[in-house]
Structure 1
Amino acid sequence: MQRVALLTSGGDAPGMNACIRAVVRKAVYHGLEVIGIKRGFNGFIEADMEPMNLSSVADIVQRGGTILRTARSDQFLTPEGRAKAYENTKRFGIQGLIVIGGDGSFRGARSFYLEHNLPVVGVPATIDNDIPGTNQTIGFDTAVNTAIEAINKIRDTATSHERAFIIEVMGRHSGFIALAAGLAGGAESILIPERPFSYDEICEKLLRGFRRGKLHSIIVVAEGASGGLEVGRKIKESTGIDTKVTILGHLQRGGSPSAADRILASRLGARAVELLMNGATKMMVGVSKGEIAAVNLDDALTQAKTIDVEMYHLANILSL
């Protein structure tokens, strides 16, 4: 292994730059050359890539987003698109590929390996934290802290006006952000795609709280469970309580990554380089029981990551 390439793909996540930095500097430390591919798999197909060195990744560990940019590529979903990308690996002498991204990015990387036998290692980076084979993904901690900061500020105004506030967070197919932010933020109800919920129970809990003198109520909803506006409308119709809705949206993707995300990204990026150097071909790096682990991409893409049910029940108990 003499030359490796890396790209970021799919939705951006805080900590991607810290991971890029770790990959480049770990590779340079071991005498490898590094090619940075811009705009994800689109750049791979279009040969939008250039050499990277120590200076390329200076002063980026604290920055959100990704200096390599990211994009979704319909063309890479086709064998013809992946064949064009493979021609560029020969043109640039690329012997291994590191893909920083989420589920869709890993599926593309796996298909590319199966068709062209280029060693690939995936690094899980998504605020949704929905990748099997790792306890946590790059960007999740920062996104949760962004939601917590919003909840804290909204709680102040909710108390002042004696209202119920609904806060919609990201999570089309998973409720990891909503559950973590709801528990840490003391939400009265947490609505996630993985668990059924009853509007009657939500409304009764709200009314019970106001009857005993509570000055406000916070409900956190993952976008995949229901729209925040719809939740607010139904609660107001059923209870008469004045409701306000805040949709955090892409605010959760941005911002300087937390210390936890910077450390996680650095550890995973460095380990990805080591795996390629040691002959790995179709792997993903992750965290298991506090240790960096290597997982076969097949396993990561065929299993399902489930929420912590005990944590969900605890949040309900503490919100009585």
Structure 2
Amino acid sequence: MSKEAVRLKEEGNVCFREKRYHKAIELYSQSLQVEQSATVLANRAQSHLNLEQWAKAIMDCNRALEIDSKMEKVLYRRAQALEKIGLKASAHKDLERCLEIAPSSAVKAMIEKLANKQDAEVIVCLVWRKVMRYGLTLISLKLRSIFHDKAQSSEDAAVPNEVTQFRVPTTLRQFSKDYRELERLPPENFAKYFLSIPTTIYSSLFGELMETEMVSRLIRGLIKLLESSSVTAAEVSECLLHLADVPRFELLVMFLGDDEKKDLASICLHLTESDAVFIREKYHLEDE
């Protein structure tokens, strides 16, 4: 890490020890702006946990695991957040992975507590509505604003179909690197790239580290491609149907915003009735 990133991280650590969690989060965020670090993301996730900001903690854990998939403390922290929002079975999976990497009495105790527990869909829904209203809405708006600005600047520059320079990814690291590059372009570029990936390797490629922001960008791109007749309805159906099989898909869907749900509903209008029904059910559009 650079000296500036380390300095900001250490200042954040001091605030954390003093239980000034909001200030710690601010300093960790500044450190991450200088340089991405799994350790800093893990520290910020713990700050969010201490403030009972479960959704934000999960997002930071996901990012940290994208950088280092074997950080046992991050798996444990994500499990804590998942358990708090009712995703007990999902939390149990994280704890099992954590136990394989670094066994501890705390992990074993939590595993016993969550043994045979199922994800509580009703609790998740209620908690998520509360989080959306009071917490994550601001994050979603900021993300959409950033994406819009980047897409607009790319459109203004009239960037020609740059997606052709990317090879079909074979590892999550390669996919994540490509995604960060594709963020600079309109969402349809990412959608074209995503459609080039064989649906049969979705689960093995993404594992449990697919992020909601990626799915959101994919959805926005797919509707653009459909409206411009750049792809067939069959291609889009196959993509969305297989995406529903990736690990933690229920968690990904839970974080989708209203705009993404509307785009999915629009996508369904282009699909066959049987595919549309299945997608509406899998992506929980029946509740809209």
Q: TM-score, normalised by structure 1?
A: 0.27
The structure whose RCO (Cα within 8 Å, separation 6+) is larger is 1
Q: TM-score, normalised by structure 2?
A: 0.29
Higher strand proportion: 1
Larger radius of gyration: 1
